[in-house]
Chain A
Amino acid sequence: MDLFSFFSRKQSSRDVAKDRLKLLLIHDRINCSPDLLEMMKTDIIRVISNYMDIDEDELDIQIGQTKSEGSNGSVPVLYANIPIKNVRNAGNQ
């Protein structure tokens, strides 16, 4: 049994639980609903579109966590992955 799990290189369920929990609690703690994220996403698209051509379908916004610089705990961060199709020339506008 242990031998198989070694070769399959699957993450142990203990680590899966830990990772899921961490993400879950970040959402719970800042009380950020999917609706709110969606609204944020629309707003971000609107603002950035003024300057750049972006791929709206591939846009990804997530709340995660990162090591805090001050203390040794972690703080929530907002990740945004926004693929750019074409940078508009400021002079063209």
Chain B
Amino acid sequence: MINDNSVIFKGSKDGLIILLSPDIDFNNLKTILEKKVEDAKDFFKDAKTSIMFKGRDLTEEEEYQLLQIITDKAQLNVSYIYDEKSSMEPSKSMPADKFNDGRIQIDQTKYYKGTIRSGQCLEFDGSIVVIGDVNPGGEIYAGGNIIILGSLKGIVHAGCKGYDKAFVAALAMNPMQLRICNIITRSPDNQAYNTHSKTFPQIAYLYEGNVYIEPIDYKLLDNL
């Protein structure tokens, strides 16, 4: 007897959400998924979509198996798989619905003129350019890059939705905290009042899980 509610397909504007019951055996789940996909074969035919599995913690292996069923049974062209958890992790302050948009649009840029003060927070899915300073306690969250034409003394999070090629550039780089993708770094403890030391432009980027901060030069820009 197949419980119809164990696997539910839901369409969203960006793709297909598949709700999986956490209560039943994985093999059972596979059978049910297989039958459901078979039933909806015509509907899916040759569609190109992204898929999100929801409602159940899946291992990579399990996810792969489910994906096989979907691509085999329906001629579905899966362009992107994203799961709820990993897309939620990088940033805490973004509302959940923003993450359900699996695509990352870093090509759009928001310009902000003025000082971001303590307690103020700038959020944008794309990149952010601030013409002004970011004071201690001020926060910026961007899906893409962050460029500060001024002094960076607050908290910035570039690539906060999981984009690991994001960078942060500032004319004076003294952040309280600098986050790229899911890596968090903070300024050294003994430099709290030594803010005049770094007043040349610098860029921070992620390389093999580490954040590097370097002066901006041509060689570096070519490699980004």
**Would A and B touch once assembled, by the CB under 8 A criterion?**
no
